Chain A
Amino acid sequence: MASERQIAANRRNARKSTGPRSGAGRKRASHNAYRHGLNLNMTSTAAFAKQLDKLVREIVGNTKDAIILERARAVAQADFDLARVRRAKVALIERVSAFGELDPPRIFSSVRQIIRFFNAVDRGQVTSFPERVDSSAPMPPQEPYRSAEAMRRVLPELRKLDRYERRAAGRRDQAVRALSVEFTLTAISSCK
């Protein structure tokens, strides 16, 4: 169990750990949780918003009903998300097909390895610099072997993207159902 002195020291230290203070540090920290951006809402770009609006109008026509418009927007948004994940999948395969792997070959695979290496240098245990580790074997030059090998290498990432694709498809199906219900309700109320 920690002594009172240790607890007080921990508290003092914790008060100093308030995260980044400078603008640049805060900006950098804001990207800490960023992984691939597939969960981002893309309506922020003007061109995309325009394209989305066109699709929404095609779905619902000239209606001014805010609920129907919102439902149609959800359908269109999910459909665009689906397309975005598919583009990401193809881009990954193309990248591996061109370069052999997703990331350039590294000498060290983790920060811990770098620290260990420099500690060993300090102790005089290292006489030569480590060789670059290239985990990828040469890519086959001919199709369809090259594409198949690229897909094989990128399969774990494709599996992860598959989850996002399923989620976007689920969102779209749900939105279509909600839109359908809304159309029915509007039709009933207009007949009364």
Chain B
Amino acid sequence: MRRRNELALLPKSPLLITESADEFDTLRDAFEREIKPRGIIEQMYVHDICSIVWEILRLRRCKVVIINSAYYSALEDLLVQLRQPGQQDFSARDGARKLAHAWFTDKEAQKRVLETLGRFNLDESAIEAKAIRASSSVLELLDRMLTSLESRRDKALGCVAEYRASLAQQLRESADRILDGKVLRLEPEPNKRSTVA
């Protein structure tokens, strides 16, 4: 109940319309189980860590999709590059476009592509390399953002530990003072005992 009240006070993490709020909640629950936040400040950090991780996952997904969507033109370019000797560029381009289009679904087309690549001692990883090269400027930006987010996630985790340690230190000091008798006098004073007696 208290956790729900605390979460209601924290600003909501915005999600894209294509993202699932349930999945976000599941991720946050997993972090809460691990970190076991106590108090609103720790809850705030857990919420922050969860939002950062969510964004990291979003960027990683984006990276994969960007490489995948560059596959078609990468394969087409590669097939044009590896054309038969003497074949003109424009006629090779037309054939390459058709073969690249069929490659995603047609087994026969996949076989033909492999044969073409094999003639030059290449395999399907050459397509991936070409796709990555074509989108390298975007991937570099995404990587920078990922690095920044990962460093912020680690920093936030460090902050939870630091805050918890400082709280523990406070509690230890308070406990020490209590034990030293600076705050509470556990033994009654002698003159009071005599009065009671």
Contact = CB atoms under 8 A, between A and B. Distances in A.
A85 to B, nearest CB: 10
Contacts of B173: 184, 187-188
B69 A148 contact: yes
A159 B145 contact: yes
Contact of B65 (A144, A162, A187): A144
Interface residue tally of chain B, by bracket?
Answer: 35 or more
Interface in B136-193: 138, 141-142, 144-145, 148-149, 152, 155-156, 159, 162-163, 166-167, 169-170, 173-174, 177, 182-183
Nearest to B166: A180
Main SS at interface, chain A: helix
Contact of B156 (A91, A169, A177): A169
Contact of B18 (A58, A147, A156, A191): A147
Contact of A55 (B9, B156, B166): B9
A176 B66 contact: no
B40 A90 contact: no
B11 interface: yes
Contacts of B142: 155
B159 A176 contact: yes
A82 B48 contact: yes
A143 interface: yes
A50 to B, nearest CB: 11
Contacts of B65: 144-145, 147-148
Contact of B10 (A55, A143, A149, A162): A55
A169 B48 contact: yes
Nearest to A84: B11
Interface residue tally of chain A, by bracket?
Answer: 35 or more
A159 B163 CA distance: 29
Given A54-B9, A143-B18, A147-B18, A155 B141 contact: yes
B174 A191 contact: yes
B145 A158 contact: yes
Given A55-B9, A187-B174, A148 B167 contact: no
Interface string A90-118: 11011001000000000000000000000
A94 B62 contact: no
A159 B142 CA distance: 9
A143 B162 CA distance: 41
Contacts of B12: 83
B16 A87 contact: no
Interface in A76-92: 79-80, 82-84, 86-87, 89-91
A149 B12 CA distance: 25
B6 interface: yes
Contacts of A179: 41
Given A152-B62, A169-B156, A176-B41, A86 B14 contact: yes
Interface of A: 51, 54-55, 58-59, 75, 79-80, 82-84, 86-87, 89-91, 93-94, 97, 140, 143-145, 147-149, 151-152, 155-156, 158-159, 162, 165-166, 169, 172-173, 176-177, 179-180, 183-184, 187-188, 191
15 contacts: A83-B13, A86-B14, A91-B14, A144-B18, A144-B65, A147-B65, A155-B138, A156-B141, A169-B152, A169-B155, A173-B156, A176-B159, A187-B174, A188-B173, A191-B177
